[in-house]
Structure 1
Amino acid sequence: GLNSPLRVLENGRSTGTLVNKQTGGVSEMASGNIDVRSIIGVLVVLIVGLSVLPIILDAVATAAASLTGAAQTMLNLIPLFYVIALLLAVIYWAVGTTKK
């Protein structure tokens, strides 16, 4: 379900920290249940994705040298969208693991 900050304080705990009811402060960090396979999967995607980036940069630079105008501009944007896609994949993974 969806936990509002007020409901989290009523329950006395949240997913990331344990709240001390007497002082209202954070008493200790809760042990996270993040799947190790999931972390390794994201790291593999990042490593492979970032290692392919120079190949994409070289191919785009070679192809863009023979183009002009709008075609060259759109081709030069391919690495930007590639990096944005990698970042979105990591953000999607982070949001997905914190919702569990």
Structure 2
Amino acid sequence: MATRSIAIKETSDLTERDIDRIIEMAWEDRTPFDAIEYQFSLTEDKVKELMKRELKFSSYRLWRKRVESCKTKHAKKRSDAIDRFKCSRQRAISSNKIAKR
């Protein structure tokens, strides 16, 4: 297995704008945790920690329940036909590190 060259960030190193974007990406069904890690160098566990800290507990529980049943959030559960991080119909986002089409 290849080693990762991405340095894992701590959630305390993130700006408020980064945190808002991570929360938005985490709520989106089609955005996998791999995309969040690619853009912000946060593992799935770190995203879960951030969500637990930033959301109300009831919102966090709803999100966790939704993520557990969502096949598109985890690369291993995704269909092989999906080979991109974002939907082709998704509107361009400023400050997005992923190349835009």
TM range (shorter): under 0.3
Q: Of Structure 1 and Structure 2, which has the larger fraction of its residues in strand?
A: 1
Q: Of Structure 1 and Structure 2, which has the larger fraction of its residues in helix?
A: 1
TM-score normalised by the chain length of structure 2: 0.27
> Which of structures 1 and 2 has the larger relative contact order (alpha carbons within 8 angstroms, sep 6+)?
2
**Higher gyration radius (CA):** 1
TM-score normalised by the chain length of structure 1: 0.27
